[in-house]
Amino acid sequence: MQGIEPEQIVINGMVAHKPSKQIFPSVHRGHGPDAEAVIVSINNGALELVDLASDDHSSMSVGPVPTSATLEFG
């Protein structure tokens, strides 16, 4: 996460793996539509980006999202 100012990091969620005592926060680097979503591994204070490209995973498209739309949560 070098080269990123602290105010440019948004923590979305976090999970702890109890057996290994590792922490995995889900973060965005930057703000707005160009923000990059990543998962970070924290192990004994060392940060490492989790590379999901080589792991088995699935994804689902939500279709096109209008750029002028706003989301409301209530």
CA 42/CA 4 separation, integer angstroms: 17
Instruction: Tell whether pTM > 0.85.
Output: no
In the chain, the N- to C-terminal Cα span, in Å, equals 33
The confidence score (pLDDT) of residue 70 equals 73
pLDDT in tens, 7-52: 889 999 999 999 998 999 999 988 888 888 899 999 888 889 998 8
Nearest alpha carbon to residue 41 among 23, 20, 55: 23
Both tokens of 69, joined, read 């739309």
Phi, psi of 57 (to 5 degrees): -160, 170
pLDDT in tens, 57-73: 788 888 887 777 677 76
For the chain, what are the domain ranges? 6-49
Q: Which residues, in sequence order, are CB contacts of 2 under 8 Å at separation 6+?
A: none
